[in-house]
Amino acid sequence: MDDECDWLASLVPSTGIGLDRAASSAAAVADAVARVGEQPVCWAIEQGELAAARIKAEIPPFTGGSTADEVLRRGSEAASLRALLVLAEPSANLAPVSDAALAGIRDFVRRNIPLDRVLRAIRIGHAQLAQAYLRACEELAAPDRLGWEMKRVSDELFRFVDGFSDGMTQEYLAEYDRWVTSAAATRAATVRALLAGETTDVAAASRTLGYHLACTHVAAIVWAAAPAEDPRLHSAAEGLLRGSGATTTLVVPVGAGRVWAWGTVPATARPHGHLDVEEGLRAAVGTPGTGIEGFRRTHREAARTEWLRGVDGADRPRVTGYDEVVLPVLLSADLEAAREFTRRELGDLTGPGEMMQALRTTLLHYLSAERSLVRVAAELHIARGTVAYRVKRAQEILGGGIADRGFRLQAALLLAEEIGEAVLGSTPAPHRPFPGPPAT
């Protein structure tokens, strides 16, 4: 770190965030720590997360599931780290945009996020960083150098964002040219038009896709746990659909580590049953639907199932069918209203900890089993006496009997079971737009 920038060494994250939260590669983090120290790097990681959250809140297209969220977080963090290094070592003449930041462009192009939205996101990120640096400079820089330092930070960050914008724009245009000339782009554009209801010539679309749209379909969305070009996705989607009885399939990549897929199945096909994908992948599956409307509906169901799994943040089965989670999906379409309803219905039973979770789970099974202690004991693999104790304790916490609470109590318990902290927490639920037609 250059001597004139020594105040940057005193940067400390406000939330106690550590290097383990980094989205960047271990090599990039280690290099930054060697240059400026651990705490300033942790501060930059924190700023990257804050910028990503602000971008998602202000530009909905950047919110597209857990994989898309991670792509944005990586890019925001890469920009934040590079800005820190540019300010700390002005004599090093570092390029403003790193390979890690450029990597997100492929995802943005495939998800059809326009360049003007990307540039707006960059401006939002710059505003977040500039405010944070100027506040820190005011607190940490020597009083006799404060005016000079604040001007230097402002000038350097403006130069940085200009160079960053130029680099991202050039990469976007190059990637866009590569993408629009590919067969995959043609299929993706056709699928998006079908989902949005912009295509009326179904026969022509079927020929373009090499997939018969007049049949009965089951849709799947398959994504990787971490954003990356993953060759397993295509085969995983096909295997999943074949396991559902599909005779032909259509698989379309829509971003880094994410594909949309459909399979033609018999009109009498049942829901997906017991299917799986390999470790590191996740999948959401719709229910069968016939014709172009069925093509749209089953995809919308898969998208809503993916959304629910992105909200709950819990360790769930790798494959989830819409038929398994249809009630919590519908109940949580307005996530903030779902949180308010759950906390109002459950009161102190929303408390944290494994015991509270066990009480909620047992009471939910008890209500679903029509108050049969024997059935609940068998389902949860616990003693009948344990079931009775938990139900009694849950009733005490709720402040009375459960006989007159009806479906409202069961719905609140179901939301708590399936979504967890997003409806149990005392702070507003995270902003995640609910997928609706046209599907996104």
Structural tokens at position 207: 């020929």
CA distances in angstroms from 438 to 24, 303, 413, listed in the order given: 33, 11, 31
* Secondary structure of residue 344 in the 3-state scheme: helix
Please name every residue paired with 320 in a beta bridge, in sequence order, or none if there are none. Answer: 284
Q: Are residues 322 and 354 in the same domain?
A: no
Q: What is the pLDDT of residue 437?
A: 57
Structural tokens at position 243: 């396991």
Q: How far apart are CA 310 and CA 420, in angstroms?
A: 11
Q: How far apart are CA 196 and CA 94, in angstroms?
A: 44
Tell me, yes or no, whether 143 lies in a domain.
yes
Q: What is the pLDDT of residue 256?
A: 75
Q: What confidence category does residue 317 fall into, taking pLDDT thresholds of 50, 70 and 90? A: confident
Q: What is the pLDDT of residue 183?
A: 80
Cβ atoms within 10 Å, residue 202? 15
Residue 85: domain span? 3-180
* Secondary structure of residue 431 in the 3-state scheme: coil
Total number of domains constituting the chain: 3
Q: What confidence category does residue 363 fall into, taking pLDDT thresholds of 50, 70 and 90? A: very high
Tell me, yes or no, whether 315 lies in a domain.
yes
Q: State yes or no: pLDDT of 272 exceeds 60.
A: no
Q: State yes or no: pLDDT of 63 exceeds 60.
A: yes
Cβ atoms within 10 Å, residue 50? 19
Tell me, yes or no, whether 439 lies in a domain.
no
Q: State yes or no: pLDDT of 3 exceeds 70.
A: no
Tell me, yes or no, whether 190 lies in a domain.
no
Q: What confidence category does residue 61 fall into, taking pLDDT thresholds of 50, 70 and 90? A: confident
Which one of 279, 305, 329 terminates a domain? 329
Least confident of 168-182, 343-357, 358-372: 168-182
Q: Are 127 and 158 in contact (CB under 8 A)?
A: no
Q: Are residues 412 and 349 in the same domain?
A: yes
The one-character DSSP state at 187 is H
Closest CA to 203 of 218, 190, 188: 190
Q: Are residues 132 and 227 in the same domain?
A: no
Residue 254 dihedral angles phi and psi, to the nearest 5°:
-130, 15
Q: Are residues 215 and 348 in the same domain?
A: no
Structural tokens at position 75: 């890019």
DSSP notation for 34-85: HHH-HHHHHHHHHHHHHHHHHHHHH-GGG--SHHHHHHHHHHHHHHHHHHHH
Closest CA to 280 of 225, 238, 318, 229: 225
β-strand pairing of 319-321 with 281-285: parallel
Q: Are 385 and 376 in contact (CB under 8 A)?
A: no
- Count the alpha carbons within 13 Å of 435 in the hemisphere toward its beta carbon: 24
Least confident of 53-57, 189-193, 397-401, 414-418: 397-401
Q: How far apart are CA 167 and CA 144, in angstroms?
A: 36
Q: What is the pLDDT of residue 438?
A: 46
Q: Is the dihedral of CA 204, 205, 210, 213 positive or negative?
A: negative
Q: Locate tokens 């495939």: which residue?
A: 110
pLDDT digits (tens, 9 = 90+) for 11-37: 999 988 899 999 888 999 999 999 899
Q: Are residues 240 and 138 in the same domain?
A: no
Which one of 312, 329, 346 terminates a domain? 329
Q: What is the pLDDT of residue 5?
A: 67
* Secondary structure of residue 53 in the 3-state scheme: helix
Tell me, yes or no, whether 18 lies in a domain.
yes
For residues 90, 91, 92, 95, the Cα torsion angle rounded to the nearest 10 degrees is 50
Q: How far is CA 387 from the centre of its chain?
A: 36
**What mean pLDDT, rounded, does the chain reach?**
87
Q: How far apart are CA 321 and CA 324, in angstroms?
A: 5
Q: What confidence category does residue 114 fall into, taking pLDDT thresholds of 50, 70 and 90? A: confident
Q: How far apart are CA 440 and CA 112, in angstroms?
A: 10
- Count the alpha carbons within 13 Å of 213 in the hemisphere toward its beta carbon: 21
Helices (H) and strands (E) in the chain, counts: 18, 6
Q: Are residues 104 and 237 in the same domain?
A: no
Tell me, yes or no, whether 38 lies in a domain.
yes
Q: Locate tokens 């890469």: which residue?
A: 78
Q: Are residues 338 and 320 in the same domain?
A: no
Tell me, yes or no, whether 430 lies in a domain.
no
Q: How far apart are CA 54 and CA 76, in angstroms?
A: 11
Q: State yes or no: pLDDT of 49 exceeds 90.
A: yes
Between 110 and 246, name the one with better pLDDT: 246
Assign residue 12 the CATH number of its domain.
Answer: 1.10.490
Q: Are residues 26 and 107 in the same domain?
A: yes
Q: Are residues 251 and 354 in the same domain?
A: no
Q: What is the pLDDT of residue 436?
A: 66
User: Stretch 119-129: mean pLDDT, rounded?
Assistant: 92
Tell me, yes or no, whether 435 lies in a domain.
no
Q: Are residues 270 and 364 in the same domain?
A: no
Residue length, the chain?
440
Q: Locate tokens 């944070």: which residue?
A: 132
Q: Are residues 16 and 126 in the same domain?
A: yes
pLDDT digits (tens, 9 = 90+) for 200-220: 788 999 998 989 999 999 999
Q: Are residues 267 and 367 in the same domain?
A: no
Q: How far apart are CA 332 and CA 252, in angstroms?
A: 28
